A and B are shown apart, each in its own frame.
Chain A
Amino acid sequence: MATTVPPPAPAEEVVARLERMWEARPGVLGWVMTTDHKRIGLLFFWTTLALFGAGGVEALLIRTQLIRPDNHLVSPGTFDELFTVHGMTMIFFFIIPASTGVFGNYLLPLMIGARDMAFPRLNALSYWVFLGSAIFLYTSLFMGLAPNAGWFDYVPLANRRFDPGPPIDFYCLAVIFNSLSSTLTASNFIVTIFKMRAPGMSFNRMPLFCFAFLATSFGLLFALPPLSADTIFLFLDRNVGTHFFDVAHGGSTLLWQHLFWIFGHPEVYILIVPAFGIATSIIPAFTQRRLVAFPLVAIAELLVVFIGFGVWAHHMFAVGMPVITVVFFAAATAMVVIPSTVQVFAWCMTFVTGSPQFRTPLLFIAGFIFMFVAGGLTGMMFVAVPFDQQVTDTYFVVAHFHYIIFGAAVFPIFAGFYFWFPKVTGKLYFELPGQISFWVVFVGTNLLFFPMHVVGLEGMTRRVYTYSGGSGWGPENLAESIGGYLTGAGIVLLLGNLLVSWFRGPPAGPDPWRAPTLEWTIPSPPPEYNFAVIPKVSSAYAAWDLADREEDRRKLAEHALVLDQGHEQPVSSPIDGWFSEIVEMPHDSPWPIVLATALSLVFTTLVIHKYAVAGIMGVLVLLALLFWHQEEPQNA
């Protein structure tokens, strides 16, 4: 059914037509109804930033309470809420949505030469569901009913008998609500990566960033259901009277722990693998060298998530499992080290064999490597089960996972903020305050987290709201708190610099770093349609393939592969990137936010135990789905 192709038009005319066709609605509606992955990425950015602030304030309150022995700043109950919500916020509401929702959303389509996600409306739904779940959790905090049994919420402490009232119901529902958003995002990423790549971008020509996000998405897709199952059990145990975790009636308390950590350990890799992806984007740009051992690193990124699914019980070495189980999981834990060390040395050797330019993003990446190695080395120690059993549940473990989660997952997020700031805003940031902010954050986090190793070995256990002067833990805790404030100040400087640069920064141009991936071949900020011509790709460093970029310009002049008969987008075969079809992408839609609102009503009525009303709200959800599907975009 080949249709008649319009005669070649001059490039400016083609671009103007694409502009008109993809133009966003003006004003607030343009954001509420948007399906543009860049706008959704920005929505995620502002929301996760606010939640990062909330989680940070909680952390500083915790540190202030612990700044000296026998402190009485907050009550024990408030302290329990603070560390629980701090953990939930940083993991579910900051790092996952910031790495997938912000970086993945904004950059994945740009890196693979696509004009949007495979399911743009679903992408919008991910955001609105995420926003709903965040409001849901923080409502509980402001009502003084926040979850208070720790982010891993062990039963029987989380059972109705020991924790009556709404807090744990809020926990269960917030977790399910939030994981709905992450599951949608992950599904969208997987299909986008497999199907929406620019024709010709076979798997081996895909940037490592995309491998990392593919691995993370698979991790999310398979890790979240066990958590949902677990929280469903808990919600039923608490509110319906089932006995999944009730030992007296044939249940098992360890069932909670197994299901939780089957999610919880892949979760760690879900948090840090996107960071690997960001690192592998920044390192080649600032060393002006292709990443060392590309295939090994790509495989390692996928493998680390895969093996990560087989190590969960190392969080449970002290629960009294049979020796054979313990040894099996210790061996698996030893195995998961290898893909990580491969990547670390590949990054380092790229530094050494390239010509590194230590601007702020690369400084943060160097800091990330340091923190990841430091946290990874203490992680390797946990392979020695007796040592793990000695320090588990002490501050040594708190130190270990903060080196990983803050150092290895958040440092690259900061690096990414700086690295892609010119792309998103079209402005350059100011270098000196950026570098200063790095050093403040770096010194601050080490001062904050290193003494935790020491105090943990000295016997300080996790989640204590205070400690006595006789314990001898005072000096370390004081240092940690000072480090906490320093870190906070550094982050304020870091973000403040970006804010000022946004208004005052010099124009950046399309490619200030001479970076290798496709997003740097288009104007900054990117136009709504991303690419005027579907780009030609013959390597994973497409922006450095100058002949290909020349050909793109020629094609634009010839009006070839412009796809301007609508919201058009090419679809490719999953592995080889064969050009398969041209589809029409959906336009703005009000239904994602309507559906998310209906879902919010379902969860709200569930938490107040009005199940009949929740059923009615469920019908609203179905109605919203029905209206959603009244439109029939041809993007499948």
Chain B
Amino acid sequence: MRRRDRGTAGVRALPWAALVALPLALAGCSGNGQNALHPHSHAARDIASLFWWMTGGAFLGLGLIVGLLVLSWVRRGRRGVPSDPNDPKPGEGFAVKVVVALGVVVPILVMTAIFTIGDVFVMKTTAAPYSRTRTTLTVQAVGVQWYWKFLYPGTRAVTADELHIPVRTPVNLVATTADVIHSFSVPELNRKIDTIPGTKNRIVLYADEVGVYRGRCAEFCGLQHAHMAMTVYVDPPARFRAWLRAQSAPARTPTTALQRRGERVFLDGPCSSCHTIRGTSARGYLGPDLTHLASRRTLAGATIPNRKGYLAGWIMDSQHVKPGNQMPDMDLSGPQLQALLAYLESLK
């Protein structure tokens, strides 16, 4: 951490030390897939380099101010009689020139530069595509309290928590909301965009390389705003196409007796009033689409891993895992739960 101290002249170098320390600090704990300074697209890279240039300038500016204050400290008390009535404003002419030069002229130049580079050039690379010509794929991201739902228009694929896109393909992302304002944010791929009721906002998503990135809801959206994350899987085009085909298909029919019992538990119980499983009579729309639940790696807004134990805990006691979420705790007997888990785990 940066500690600053104007008391002694020796620490004038501290801003520079901090300048060196900052990248180290940023690099230290960066492997979380949502670091704005680990860009993996043209847009995010432009933003990151904009940040580095501006930060360099900021440290220069701060260093200048600290320098002036330290200078005044060094020269403190040099005047024998303070506030000489014959010379109430010593050095005024020079000081005013400094104020005008550094307080008016330099900021105008700096702001013009930031404005031009940031709001003319970088803004173009991060902006939403003007028309469909540049993008080959449209994805709709719907913010719901408290998870992200993704639809692939033109197919039947609906998923939650995870967004799959092909690598090196501009994707037209349409962000909407089912309830309150959320904000779609995948920092390593692009800037964020809010979801406003009644509005369709768009940005372009593009990834340079295959990988897994993390995104979150950035706008406060209620009790479980903290647990409204998502994972973005950037796949090679062939793998993406296969995935999309699989997701568009209806759910697999249960094969074992246990799974069939589980399906009955699902369809006859309260589950189906909120969840959809395509290919069955479950058409609820409040909760996530579970048609291919078992193909996902996380549950509950990318909060817990999709493993049997976690899934069971989530079904029986979701209010403990994510207090205030929309899913009530289920009251199932042991055999019912086992059957339901077997069924859900078969929904590849």
Contact = CB atoms under 8 A, between A and B. Distances in A.
In the complex, is A directly touching B at CB under 8 Å? yes
Interface in B90-105: 90-92, 94-96, 98-100, 102-104
A389 B126 contact: yes
Interface in A376-410: 377-378, 380-381, 383-387, 389-394
Contacts, number: 319
B95 A377 contact: no
Contact of A381 (B51, B69, B79): B51
B201 A386 contact: no
A350 interface: yes
A511 to B, nearest CB: 12
Which of B44, B88, B145, B179 is the most central at the interface, judged by chain A CB atoms within 10 Å of its CB?
B88
A461 B218 contact: yes
A522 interface: no
Contacts of B94: 353
8 contacts: A76-B226, A162-B179, A334-B114, A342-B103, A355-B77, A369-B65, A461-B217, A463-B226
A467 B223 CA distance: 14
A620 B178 CA distance: 46
Contact of B226 (A163, A392, A464): A464
Contacts of B279: none
Nearest to A389: B191
Contacts of B334: none
A386 B126 contact: yes
B65 A341 contact: no
Contacts of B122: 384, 386-387
Given A331-B115, A386-B123, A458 B36 contact: yes
A457 B22 CA distance: 11
Q: Which 5 A-B pairs have the closest CB atoms?
A: A384-B118, A459-B34, A288-B82, A247-B198, A464-B226
Interface in B272-317: 303
Which of B106, B193, B196, B201 is the most central at the interface, judged by chain A CB atoms within 10 Å of its CB?
B196
A32 B104 CA distance: 49
B19 interface: no
A288 B57 CA distance: 33
A377 B65 CA distance: 12
Contacts of A459: 32, 34-36, 185, 187, 214, 216
Interface stretch (B1-9, B132-140, B249-257): B1-9
A353 B217 contact: no
A75 B88 contact: no
A212 B323 CA distance: 47
B61 interface: yes
A391 B114 contact: no
A358 to B, nearest CB: 7
Interface in A349-378: 349-358, 366, 369-370, 373-374, 377-378
Contacts of A485: none
Given A156-B181, A458-B26, A470-B32, A320 B50 contact: no
Q: Give the size range of B's interface with the partner.
A: 35 or more
B290 to A, nearest CB: 23
B218 A349 contact: no
Nearest to B304: A468
A458 B79 CA distance: 49
Interface string A299-341: 0000000000000000000111001001100110011011001
Contact of B119 (A253, A319, A330, A369): A330
Q: Give the size range of A's interface with the partner.
A: 35 or more
Contact of A323 (B91, B103, B127): B127
Contacts of A335: 111
Given A292-B95, A320-B199, A377-B61, A355 B82 contact: yes
A19 to B, nearest CB: 32
Given A323-B123, A355-B78, A390-B187, A162 B222 contact: yes
A553 interface: no
Contacts of B96: 292-293, 296, 349
Interface in A425-449: 439, 442-443, 446-447
B82 A514 contact: yes
Contacts of A386: 43, 46-47, 50, 118-119, 122-123, 125-126, 191
B14 to A, nearest CB: 11
Interface string B53-96: 01101100110011011011101111100110100111110111
B90 to A, nearest CB: 6
B156 to A, nearest CB: 27
A463 B201 contact: no
B220 interface: yes
Given A247-B198, A293-B95, A392 B192 contact: yes
Contacts of A344: 65, 103
Contact of B183 (A253, A318, A345): A318
Contacts of B82: 288-289, 354-355, 514
Contact of A353 (B31, B91, B111, B115): B91
B179 A451 contact: no
Interface stretch (A125-133, A221-229, A270-278, A472-480): A472-480
A157 B114 contact: no
Nearest to A456: B36
A76 B55 CA distance: 35
A87 B179 CA distance: 25
Interface string A278-305: 0000000001111011001000000000
A373 B36 contact: no
Nearest to A539: B88
A284 B68 CA distance: 16
A541 interface: yes
B30 to A, nearest CB: 7
A352 B102 CA distance: 15
Nearest to B80: A355
B25 interface: yes
Contacts of A292: 89, 92, 95-96, 99
A318 B184 CA distance: 10
B58 A381 contact: yes
Nearest to B184: A318
A611 interface: no
Interface string B234-274: 00000000000000000000000000000000000000000
Contacts of A470: 32
Contacts of B34: 458-459, 471
A390 B191 contact: yes
Given A337-B111, A383-B118, A390-B187, 17 more contacts: A156-B179, A292-B89, A319-B196, A320-B193, A320-B202, A323-B127, A327-B119, A327-B123, A344-B103, A354-B79, A356-B77, A381-B51, A381-B114, A384-B50, A386-B118, A454-B22, A479-B1
Contacts of B303: 468
A346 interface: yes
Contacts of B32: 458-459, 470-473
A463 B225 contact: yes
B328 interface: no
Contact of B30 (A350, A381, A472): A472
A596 to B, nearest CB: 33
A373 B51 contact: no
B335 interface: no
Nearest to A343: B103
A145 interface: no
B54 A380 contact: yes
B35 A318 contact: no
A450 interface: yes
Contacts of B218: 318, 392-394, 461-462
Contacts of A479: 1
A356 B99 contact: no
